[in-house]
C-alpha cells in the first residue's frame, strides 16, 4: 500500500469515523465535545515549542515523568499534549491542570494535519509508545519538524501486522528522526520494518521512573480504614468480557475467605453502569464509589466508577489483578502495583507490556493465571498469607528500583535530536 492509497482510504472512511465518534458519544457524551479539534479546527493554543502525543490514559501516565522533567528544567517551554480519548484528556487535566495545553489529536489526513501544524507551529514532536500515523510523519518531514517515537514498543504481533503493509510501513518508519525503544527486541523489530538503525536507541521503559506522590500512602490508608481488617483484592482496568471471569473468581474466593472484598475498576467509564448491572445480576452486594455508598461488612464488591483514583486503590489493596489480560486486549501496566509493593496477577494476554510483565514474573514479583479458577486460587493464597504477600511485594519494589533511569536516557536522546535538528549558529 502506498501513502496515496492509504490517504484515499482514510478520506473515504472519515464519514464512518465521525459516525462512530457520534455512536460512542451516546454512551460517553465527552466524545461529541470539541470535535472540531479532530479536524484541525478549534481554539488554537498560543503556539507550542513541543507537541507530545499520548493516546489515552496509559500513555498519559507514561508521559507524566517526562513532561514534569521538561517543565521543571525549562519553565518557559510551551507544551501541547494531544490525546485521542476523553479519558486521556481528563487525565491530562487531573495531572497538570492549566499548566499546559491539551487538544484532541487531529485525524491523519494531509489537509487536517497541515491546518493543525499551521496553528500550533511546534519545533519538535514526541509520540508516545506505538502511535504511528503516516501522513502526520510525512507532513512533519516536509516542514523539517523532528519527530521522536519515545518509550517505543512493538510486539511481535504488531510487527506482523505492519509487515503486511510493507511499502507503507518502511517509508513511514524511515521518517522518524529518532526512535527510543524500550528493549533490544523492540529495536530489532523497528529496524526490520524499515527504521534507520542509526536513529535507534534502546533507552528502557520510562514507566519504571514513576514517582508515587507522598499523598498516595495517606489516601490508601484512609481507604483501608473504611474497609476495616477485611482482606481486599483489586481488579484493575478490566475490559469487556473480563468482569464475568473476575466475578466468578471472587465467588470461588468467598467460599474460602468469606470476608474478602473485591474492588472492581473497569477500564472505560461508559461501561460503569453495565458492569454495575452485571455485579447485581450475579448476586453480589454492591457499593458504588461515585455515590459514596458505604462499604459495609456485607458488601462483596466495591465498584470504582470514578476516574483518577486507581493508583490509590491499588496501593490500598492486599493484592491486585491487572485487567485486559484474561481477554486478548494485551494487558495494562503492572508497575503501579509493583512500585506500591502489592502482589500482582495477570492473565495470559500481556503482549502490550510483554517486557515488563516477563521481568516481574521471572523475578517472582508477579504471577500469571489462566482463568477464573486459577485467579481465585492465587488470590486465596496471597490473602491468607501476609508474609508471602510482603515477600512478593518487596520483589516488585526491587524490580522497579533496579530499572529506573530510562527517563534520563530519553532526555539525552531528545537533547541530542534537538541539537542536531536545530544547531546553534
Residues assigned a catalytic role:
59
**Can you tell me the distance from the alpha carbon of 62 to that of 209, in angstroms, rounded to the nearest whole number?**
9
C-beta of residue 194 within 8 angstroms of C-beta of residue 165: no
Residue 343's φ and ψ, nearest 5 degrees, are -60, 140
Closest C-alpha among 60, 52, 99 to residue 80: 52
* CA 150 to chain CA mean position, Å: 14
Cell 486486549 appears where? 329
C-beta of residue 254 within 8 angstroms of C-beta of residue 383: no
Cα distance between the two ends of the chain:
41
In this structure, how many other beta carbons lie within 10 angstroms of the beta carbon of residue 221? 12
C-beta of residue 129 within 8 angstroms of C-beta of residue 61: no
Residue spans of beta strands (DSSP E) within 301-396: 301-303, 319-322, 344-346, 366-368
The single-letter DSSP state of residue 284 is -
Amino acid at each position: 500500500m502506498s501513502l496515496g492509497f492509504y490517504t484515499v482510504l482514510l478520506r473515504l472512511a472519515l464519514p464512518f469515523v465521525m459516525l462512530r465518534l457520534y455512536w460512542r458519544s451516546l454512551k460517553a457524551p465527552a466524545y461529541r465535545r470539541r470535535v472540531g479539534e479532530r479536524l484541525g479546527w478549534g481554539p488554537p493554543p498560543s503556539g507550542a515549542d513541543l507537541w507530545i502525543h499520548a493516546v489515552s490514559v496509559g500513555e498519559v501516565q507514561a508521559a507524566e515523568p517526562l513532561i514534569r522533567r521538561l517543565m521543571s528544567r525549562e519553565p518557559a517551554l510551551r507544551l501541547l499534549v494531544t490525546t485521542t480519548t476523553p479519558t486521556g484528556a481528563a487525565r491530562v487535566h487531573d495531572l497538570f491542570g492549566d499548566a499546559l495545553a491539551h487538544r484532541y489529536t487531529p485525524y491523519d489526513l494531509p489537509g487536517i494535519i497541515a491546518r493543525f501544524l499551521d496553528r500550533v507551529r511546534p519545533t519538535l514532536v514526541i509520540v508516545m509508545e506505538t502511535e504511528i500515523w503516516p501522513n502526520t510523519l510525512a507532513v512533519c518531514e516536509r516542514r523539517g519538524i523532528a519527530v521522536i517515537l519515545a518509550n517505543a514498543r512493538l510486539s511481535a504481533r504488531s510487527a506482523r501486522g505492519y509487515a503486511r503493509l510493507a511499502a507503507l510501513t518502511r517509508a513511514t518508519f524511515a521518517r522518524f528522526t529518532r526512535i527510543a525503544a524500550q528493549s533490544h527486541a523492540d529495536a530489532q523489530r523497528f529496524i526490520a520494518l524499515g527504521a534507520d538503525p542509526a536513529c535507534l536507541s534502546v533507552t528502557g521503559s520510562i514507566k519504571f521512573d514513576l514517582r508515587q506522590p507522598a499523598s498516595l500512602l495517606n489516601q490508601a490508608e484512609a481507604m483501608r480504614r473504611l474497609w476495616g481488617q477485611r482482606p481486599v483484592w483489586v481488579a484493575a482496568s478490566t475490559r469487556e468480557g473480563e468482569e464475568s471471569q473476575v466475578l466468578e473468581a471472587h465467588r470461588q474466593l468467598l467460599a474460602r475467605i468469606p470476608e474478602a472484598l473485591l474492588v472492581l475498576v473497569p477500564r472505560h467509564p461508559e461501561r460503569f453502569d453495565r458492569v454495575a448491572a452485571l455485579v447485581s445480576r450475579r448476586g453480589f452486594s454492591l457499593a458504588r464509589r461515585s455515590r459514596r455508598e458505604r462499604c459495609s461488612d456485607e458488601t462483596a464488591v466495591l465498584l470504582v466508577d470514578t476516574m483518577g483514583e486507581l493508583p490509590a486503590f491499588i496501593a490500598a489493596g492486599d493484592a491486585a489483578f491487572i485487567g485486559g489480560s484474561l481477554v486478548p486486549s494485551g494487558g495494562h501496566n503492572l508497575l503501579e502495583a509493583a512500585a506500591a509493593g502489592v502482589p500482582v496477577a495477570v492473565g495470559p494476554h500481556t503482549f502490550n507490556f510483554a517486557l515488563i510483565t516477563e521481568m516481574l514474573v521471572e523475578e517472582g514479583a508477579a504471577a500469571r493465571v489462566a482463568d477464573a479458577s486459577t485467579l481465585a486460587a492465587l488470590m486465596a493464597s496471597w490473602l491468607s498469607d501476609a508474609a508471602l504477600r510482603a515477600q512478593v511485594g518487596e520483589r516488585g519494589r526491587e524490580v522497579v528500583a533496579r530499572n529506573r533511569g530510562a527517563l534520563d536516557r530519553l532526555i539525552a536522546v531528545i537533547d541530542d535530536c534537538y541539537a542536531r535538528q536545530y544547531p546553534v549558529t
